[in-house]
DNA sequence: TCTGGGGTCCTAGGACCC
DNA sequence: TCTGGGGTCCTAGGACCC
């Protein structure tokens, strides 16, 4: 049996823990650059504010109802997430951290009695709320997909008190009949439209399609698995997360700029900043990368630019995998110069590190690569030490305390690529200076 | 005027290997 | 005229998730 726990309106709930004045009001949290709504309180949902709505479209409505909009504060949400996950781990044999606000639970061994399982789930919800102030909902089912179904319904119907378990055949049928097919985990916009066109309205009807139909129309084996899971046939197991973190297969960093950029040197400021950040994450995960990708985008809302313009370039590192910011920057610079076209107006850039693996004992050198000081064995060791020192200093004195010159703008000037974050709350739990004072 | 970021998995074709 | 089978790696694209 699987459980799925998720934090209600997670980002808003995190903000409310430290700002009680937000209680009972419409509250939204905005994406980077204060662009879109990414989390909404119940009151904000009530006003009809949609997930993903552009902020400028709802600003007036929110003001009119004495609501609040907050810039996103990821250090706070990340830290609250760790606290929640730590509580969960105390209640069940294994936890899979699925996202910042969601976790699958292994309920094996707790399934002997139907009633007590529900009681245990309620106990877990109470404990998380008491220790972190984050309200949650729990769904329980024999497959991950059914646990998601149950969680969805538990959120939708308050009379369920935040919990639904699909432990019997009749409950499964009732739940699937109550859920629109479009709300099933794995059915997005495209598939939802296709299902509608085929007359499939509920999750129950979706569970009844043939294997051939599922494979043909729902992305091959992925769709067939989805259907089987709805029927109660598990196709995915739990992937327990050690230490409550996720070992990722790729690491990226991208941002929309606060203003439009034209010049390659400005773009390099942004790209080198993102690449430095990605390299930090890479080292924190204890991996090296084989591939670097850089991409640049023009304004996708500008109707004169059709189709939308994004160009990317990828390089397989000729000197073998690395986690060295200096080497990554050297390659990133080449990629940027390959992509950059004078005359274009850029609004966004990003980098992706791929092909991740832990450092091997022996470095594979490229026999035919031109001599490169940075890939000499002796340099490899020195670079590792340099990166360790860099990371240690930044941990101690705060991110960006020591960084590469290319990522720094002119003295006193905010960098031209920096986005907006006009409504940011303090980092209550991760910066000493931001600690909440009670007087 | 203002429109996000970071991930996953799968497919398919071509190059290349033994 | 006949012309294998089984792999990997790479790239690009498309769907999905939170």
Q: Which residue has the tokens 């009681």?
A: A119
CATH of the domain at A23: 3.40.1170.60
Most distant pair of Cα atoms in chain A: their distance = 69
**pLDDT score at A41:** 97
Residue A214 and residue A278 in one domain: no
Locate A209 and state its tokens.
């399609």
Domain count for chain A: 3
- How many CB atoms lie under 10 A from the CB of residue A196? 13
| A220 belongs to a structural domain | yes
Q: With pLDDT > 70 as the criterion, what percentage of chain A qualifies?
A: 93
Residue A287 and residue A305 in one domain: yes
Summarize the confidence of residues A16-32 as an average pLDDT: 95
Residue A272 and residue A361 in one domain: yes
How does pLDDT run across A401-436, given as a tens digit for each residue?
888 887 777 667 788 888 888 998 898 988 888 888
- Which segment of A56-60, A242-246, A336-340, A390-394 scores lowest on mean pLDDT? A242-246
**pLDDT score at A202:** 97
**A43 CB-near residues (< 8 Å, 6+ apart):** A24, A25, A26, A27, A65, A67
Residue A255 and residue A391 in one domain: yes
Yes or no: say if A281 and A290 are a contact pair by the CB < 8 Å rule: no
| A243 belongs to a structural domain | no
| A184 belongs to a structural domain | yes
How does pLDDT run across A114-166, given as a tens digit for each residue?
558 999 999 999 999 999 999 999 999 999 999 999 999 999 999 999 999 99
Yes or no: say if A3 and A139 are a contact pair by the CB < 8 Å rule: yes
Task: Give the structural domain span for A21.
Answer: 9-73
Does the pLDDT of residue A373 top 70, yes or no? no
**A291 CB-near residues (< 8 Å, 6+ apart):** A314, A315, A316, A317, A352, A353, A354, A355
Distance CA A164, CA A182 (A): 20
Summarize the confidence of residues A73-94 as an average pLDDT: 95
Locate A245 and state its tokens.
């973190």
> Pick from A73, A98, A115: which residue ends a domain?
A73
Q: Is the CB of A133 under 7 A from strand B?
A: no
The residue that minimises its CA distance to C1' of B3 is A54
Does the pLDDT of residue A61 top 70, yes or no? yes
Residue A347 and residue A308 in one domain: yes
Residue A224 and residue A269 in one domain: no
Residues 228-257 of A with CB under 7 A from strand B: 248-256
**pLDDT score at A244:** 55
Summarize the confidence of residues A367-382 as an average pLDDT: 62
The residue that minimises its CA distance to C1' of B8 is A249
Does the pLDDT of residue A365 top 60, yes or no? no
- How many CB atoms lie under 10 A from the CB of residue A79? 15
Residue A93 and residue A206 in one domain: yes
Residue A127 and residue A61 in one domain: no
How does pLDDT run across A253-287, given as a tens digit for each residue?
999 999 999 999 999 999 999 999 999 999 998 99
The residue that minimises its CA distance to C1' of B9 is A222
Nucleotide with the nearest C1' to A302 CA: B3
Q: Which nucleotides of B are covered by protein (CB under 7 A)?
A: 1-12
| Residue A186, phi-psi category: left (phi > 0), alpha (psi -120 to 50), beta (remainder) | left
Yes or no: say if A294 and A339 are a contact pair by the CB < 8 Å rule: yes
Confidence of residue A20 (pLDDT cuts 50, 70, 90): very high
**pLDDT score at A213:** 93
Q: Is the CB of A221 under 7 A from strand B?
A: yes
Confidence of residue A90 (pLDDT cuts 50, 70, 90): very high
Summarize the confidence of residues A12-39 as an average pLDDT: 95
**pLDDT score at A295:** 93
**pLDDT score at A111:** 59
Nucleotide with the nearest C1' to A312 CA: C12
pLDDT mean across residues, chain A: 90
CATH of the domain at A110: 3.30.70.270
Does the pLDDT of residue A194 top 60, yes or no? yes
How does pLDDT run across A152-177, given as a tens digit for each residue?
999 999 999 999 999 999 999 999 99
> Pick from A168, A199, A230: which residue ends a domain?
A230
Q: Is the CB of A75 under 7 A from strand B?
A: no
How does pLDDT run across A318-364, given as a tens digit for each residue?
878 899 999 999 999 999 998 999 999 999 999 999 988 888 755 55
Q: Phi/psi at A148 (nearest 5 deg)?
A: -65, -45
| A61 belongs to a structural domain | yes
Q: Which nucleotides of C are covered by protein (CB under 7 A)?
A: 10-12, 14-18
Q: Is the CB of A220 under 7 A from strand B?
A: yes
Yes or no: say if A25 and A41 are a contact pair by the CB < 8 Å rule: yes
């Amino acid at each position: 049996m699987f459980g799925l726990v998720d934090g209600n309106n997670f980002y808003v709930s995190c903000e409310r823990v430290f700002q009680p004045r937000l209680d009972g009001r419409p509250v939204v949290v905005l994406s980077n650059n204060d662009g879109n709504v990414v989390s909404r309180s119940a009151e904000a949902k009530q006003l009809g504010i949609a997930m993903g709505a552009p902020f400028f479209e709802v600003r007036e409505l929110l003001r009119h109802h004495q609501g609040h909009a907050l810039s996103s504060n990821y250090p706070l949400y990340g830290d609250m997430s760790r606290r929640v996950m730590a509580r969960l781990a105390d209640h069940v044999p294994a936890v899979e951290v699925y996202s910042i606000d969601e976790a699958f639970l292994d309920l094996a061994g707790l399934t002997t009695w139907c009633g007590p399982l529900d009681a245990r789930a309620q106990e877990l919800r109470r404990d998380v709320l008491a220790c972190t102030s984050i309200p949650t909902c729990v769904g329980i089912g024999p497959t991950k997909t059914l646990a998601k179904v149950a969680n969805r319904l538990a959120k939708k119907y308050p009379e369920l008190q935040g919990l639904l378990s699909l432990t019997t055949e009749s409950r499964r049928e009732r739940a699937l009949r109550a859920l629109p097919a479009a709300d099933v985990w794995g059915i997005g916009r495209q598939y939802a439209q296709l299902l509608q066109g085929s007359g499939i309205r509920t999750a129950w009807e979706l569970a009844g399609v043939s294997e051939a139909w599922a494979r043909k129309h729902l992305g091959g084996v992925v769709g067939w698995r989805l259907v089987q899971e709805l029927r109660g046939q598990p196709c995915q197991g739990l992937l327990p997360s050690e230490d409550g973190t996720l070992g990722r297969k790729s690491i990226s960093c991208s941002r929309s700029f606060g203003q439009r950029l034209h010049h390659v040197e400005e773009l390099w400021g942004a790209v080198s900043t993102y690449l430095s950040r990605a390299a930090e994450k890479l080292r924190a995960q204890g991996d090296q990368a084989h591939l670097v990708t850089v991409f640049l985008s023009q304004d996708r809302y500008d109707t004169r630019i059709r189709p939308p313009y994004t160009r990317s370039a990828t390089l397989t590192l000729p000197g073998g995998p690395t986690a060295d910011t200096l080497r990554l920057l050297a390659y990133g610079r080449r990629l940027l110069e390959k992509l950059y076209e004078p005359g274009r107006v850029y609004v966004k850039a990003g980098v992706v590190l791929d092909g991740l693996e832990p450092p091997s004992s022996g470095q594979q050198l490229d026999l035919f690569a031109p001599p490169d000081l940075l890939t000499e064995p002796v340099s490899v060791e020195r670079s590792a030490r340099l990166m360790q020192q860099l990371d240690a200093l930044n941990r101690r004195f705060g991110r960006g305390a020591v960084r590469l010159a290319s990522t720094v703008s002119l003295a006193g000037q905010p960098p031209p690529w920096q986005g907006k974050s006009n409504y940011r709350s303090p980092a209550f739990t991760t910066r000493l200076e931001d600690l909440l004072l009670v007087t």
